[in-house]
């Protein structure tokens, strides 16, 4: 292996054994050490076959991102004039030159590539010995001390100078298996003083019981969510699920009977399996039950698909990549995608993070609203151990998604102290939120100085109630808390707004953030009390305007309709 920035040299041998001309190799990716918990345990057998995915450089990703902002920004002549699958492909398809350069390199090494899910990807199978030679590296077997997970990875690899400009990265190589974490608190006891003060007022129509037991009726009253069924079949809601998360149709029927008796008990959801994922109705999970019951149960009559993603292709990181590429490959993408899983940003390769984020930009340009939970660990990332600086979650830092935090209580709503929020160390502050973030930082002053990246993409963008949701799990009503709860609810509200838009002959909302930080912010309930402690601090305080606990605030369906000029 060579150090970053240095050149190495490799010989390619012709069929007759004569050496070909030297071709300089350049380090393409490197990390200083394996992620916390991983230790190299030795060299794998030279004949062990690695399944690698080669990502080619996209031809004009910068142009696609410019177009994403054009179609997503109110006032633009292209606002909500989304791109088709083929139009997006014209921006991101690798050039013929790039495909030829990478394919020729693989051919010289006797490696046959097969097409991946999208045009950016090639799949290859390479024995360890050959991979070591062609990438000038040494793959090792790494084992995780706590989980026992074993993986063949390297800390750096190199490619020829003729290939480097055409290659995005090779997966997984330096990307270690990281299990997705559910944005869900096992136990959460709300601070009672936030709910019992006589100075607090409860929004009209919200029952006092909602402070301790959140139901669809509570959410409908709290956020003015309609109960009338959606009518537009082209409006679709995708719910993504990882780490063996499953949902039961029987539990959904039970849930609707108890909490949405106005909805037919036969109402159900579609299932799509990926990477060996299975929706095991005999072993339903808290996460899957929560996500389905509060999408089907809130986005009344919106067609909903539960994507259950297994671990056949490199664990949950690979599953995230496979899911978004599968959706990109569809002729018709979902209009809303909600995900309540994430990772510590520090454990993710920046190349991987950027590639995945750019994939979300492709979906956004086609009109998909993508929502992720911020996490349930305050200003920490949930990885465990002590932290000396705030640790952001991922993909919260991606600027092309909408990140949802959590609130608690109704008299009034305050920030839930579990609500993850902060600033990415990978992605810079996007223009759409620069004024809001700058204003908050001015108010914050010297609080938490030096503990976070002031120039990073800030999250969450919005929030919703996240405490004590009533969920039916294996026939029993169980309280569940976390941004896992707030995210599908916010997504359901967007899905219902999309139904109204389509019914009026308009396009769906698409990438939400430029709208939310401009004309849409007045349609949100500003949350100004509470904080998200962690890392031995009180975390960030909620303040007037945007803050890294509750974002811009919680939704009001009627006000959002007005902001969209639909009321």
Catalogue the active-site residues.
Answer: 287, 291, 484
How far, in Å, are 96, 119, 260, 339, 531 from residue 369 at the CA level? Answer: 31, 23, 25, 11, 27
- What DSSP line would sit under 184-249, residue for residue? -BS-----THHHH-TT--PPTT--GGGGT-B-HHHHHHHHT---SPP--TT--EEEEE-TT----H
Retrieve residue 238's tokens: 């995708």
Q: How far apart are the first and last CA of the chain?
A: 63
Q: Quick check: 353 and 347 in contact, CB under 8 A? A: no
Residue 149 CB burial class (10 angstroms; 0-12, 13-18, ≥19): middle
Q: Quick check: 382 and 346 in contact, CB under 8 A? A: no
Picking from 245, 322, 316, 251, the residue whose alpha carbon sits closest to that of residue 278 is: 245
* Strand ranges for 232-290 from DSSP E: 237-241, 270-274
> Edge-to-edge, what's the strand order for the sheet holding 38-42?
38-42, 140-144, 150-153
Q: Quick check: 120 and 58 in contact, CB under 8 A? A: yes
Picking from 298, 187, 286, 306, the residue whose alpha carbon sits closest to that of residue 241 is: 306
Q: Quick check: 485 and 427 in contact, CB under 8 A? A: no
Retrieve residue 468's tokens: 């004590």
The most distant pair of C-alpha atoms in the chain lies apart, rounded to whole Å, by 89
Picking from 365, 377, 456, the residue whose alpha carbon sits closest to that of residue 416 is: 377
Rounded to a whole number of angstroms, the CA Rg of the chain reads 24
Retrieve residue 217's tokens: 């009726």
Picking from 29, 37, 322, 49, the residue whose alpha carbon sits closest to that of residue 154 is: 29
- What DSSP line would sit under 382-426, residue for residue? S--S--SS---EETTT-TTSEEEEEEE-SSS-EE-TT---EEEEE
């Amino acid at each position: 292996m060579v150090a970053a920035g240095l050149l190495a040299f490799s010989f390619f041998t012709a069929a007759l054994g004569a050496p070909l001309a030297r071709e300089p190799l350049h380090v393409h990716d490197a990390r200083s050490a394996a992620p916390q918990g991983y230790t190299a345990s030795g060299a794998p057998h030279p004949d062990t076959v690695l399944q690698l995915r080669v990502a080619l450089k996209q031809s004009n990703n910068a142009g696609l991102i410019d177009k994403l902002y054009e179609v997503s920004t109110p006032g633009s002549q292209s606002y909500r004039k989304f791109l088709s699958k083929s139009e997006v492909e014209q921006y991101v398809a690798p050039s013929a030159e790039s495909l030829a350069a990478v394919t020729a390199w693989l051919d010289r090494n006797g490696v046959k590539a097969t097409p991946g899910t999208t045009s950016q990807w090639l799949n290859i199978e390479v024995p360890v010995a050959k991979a070591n030679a062609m990438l000038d590296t040494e793959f090792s077997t790494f084992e995780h001390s706590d989980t026992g997970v074993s993986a063949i990875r390297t800390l750096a690899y190199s490619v020829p100078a003729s290939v480097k400009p055409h290659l995005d990265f090779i997966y997984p190589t330096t990307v270690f298996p990281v299990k997705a974490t559910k944005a869900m608190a096992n136990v959460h006891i709300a601070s009672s003083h936030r709910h019992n003060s006589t100075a607090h007022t409860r929004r009209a129509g919200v029952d006092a019981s909602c402070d301790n037991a959140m139901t669809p009726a509570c959410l409908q009253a709290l956020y003015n969510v309609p109960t009338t069924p959606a009518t537009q079949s082209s409006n679709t809601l995708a719910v993504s699920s990882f780490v063996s998360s499953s949902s039961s149709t029987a539990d959904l029927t039970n849930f609707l009977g108890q909490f949405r008796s106005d909805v037919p008990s036969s109402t159900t959801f579609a299932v799509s399996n990926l990477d060996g994922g299975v929706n095991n109705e005999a072993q339903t999970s808290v996460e899957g039950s929560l996500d389905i019951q509060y999408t089907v149960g809130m986005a009344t009559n919106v067609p909903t698909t539960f994507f259950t993603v297994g671990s056949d292709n490199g664990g949950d990181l690979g599953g995230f990549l496979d899911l978004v590429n599968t959706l990109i490959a569809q002729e018709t993408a979902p209009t809303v995608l909600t995900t309540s899983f994430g990772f510590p940003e520090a454990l993710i390769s920046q190349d991987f993070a950027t590639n995945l984020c750019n994939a979300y930009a492709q979906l956004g340009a086609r009109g998909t609203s993508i929502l992720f939970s911020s996490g349930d660990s305050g200003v920490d990332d949930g990885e465990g151990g002590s932290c000396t600086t705030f640790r952001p979650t991922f993909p919260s830092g991606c600027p092309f998604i909408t990140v949802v935090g959590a609130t608690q209580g109704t008299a009034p709503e305050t920030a839930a102290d579990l609500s993850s929020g902060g600033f990415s160390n990978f992605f810079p502050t996007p223009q759409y939120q620069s004024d809001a973030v700058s204003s908050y930082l001015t108010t914050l002053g010297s609080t938490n100085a030096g503990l976070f990246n002031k120039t990073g993409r800030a999250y969450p963008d919005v929030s919703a109630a996240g405490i004590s949701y009533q969920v039916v799990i294996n026939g029993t009503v169980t309280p569940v808390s976390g941004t896992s709860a707030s995210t599908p609810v916010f997504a359901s509200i967007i899905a219902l707004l999309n139904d109204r838009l389509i019914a009026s002959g308009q396009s769906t909302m698409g990438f939400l953030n430029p709208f939310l930080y401009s004309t849409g912010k007045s349609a949100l309930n500003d949350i100004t009390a509470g904080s998200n402690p962690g890392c031995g601090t009180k975390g960030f305080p909620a303040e007037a305007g945007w803050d890294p606990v509750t974002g811009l605030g919680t939704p009001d369906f009627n006000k959002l309709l007005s902001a969209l000029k639909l009321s």
